[in-house]
């Protein structure tokens, strides 16, 4: 909710991570990162992030934000995360 990501998007990502054997679902116990996880290639990482960003970009375009405004928002989020990481 805090990140305003649609629940269906999250479920799709979880399903994809399970399909790629990055996550393991133990029914009644929880979801875990697989011990046998292989490192994702740069292309796989970009594809995973692209899948998450697409709905946000679609919504931004529907709200008539420009590409520059969207880039500024992404840059601001990076800056916020960077400052949060350095304070931890």
Position 11 confidence tier, pLDDT thresholds 50, 70, 90:
confident
More confident position, 62 or 84: 62
- As a whole number, mean pLDDT of residues 30-56 equals 85
Position 88 confidence tier, pLDDT thresholds 50, 70, 90:
low
- Is the per-residue pLDDT at 35 higher than 80? no
Element (H, E) at 24: strand 23-26
pTM for the complete prediction?
Answer: 0.53
49 burial type by CB count under 10 A (0-12 exposed, 13-18 middle, 19+ buried): exposed
Distances (CA, A) of 49 to 27, 35, 67: 27, 22, 18
- 21 contacts: CB under 8 Å, gap ≥ 6: 34, 36, 37
- As a whole number, mean pLDDT of residues 54-70 equals 95
């Amino acid at each position: 909710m805090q990140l305003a990501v649609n629940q269906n998007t999250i479920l799709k990502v979880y399903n994809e991570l399970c399909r790629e054997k990055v996550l393991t679902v133990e029914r009644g116990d929880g979801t875990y990162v697989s011990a046998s996880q292989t490192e994702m290639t740069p292309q796989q990482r970009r594809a995973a992030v692209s899948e998450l960003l697409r709905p946000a970009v679609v919504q931004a375009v529907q709200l008539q934000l420009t590409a520059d405004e969207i880039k500024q928002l992404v840059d601001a989020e990076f800056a916020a995360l960077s400052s949060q990481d350095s304070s931890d």
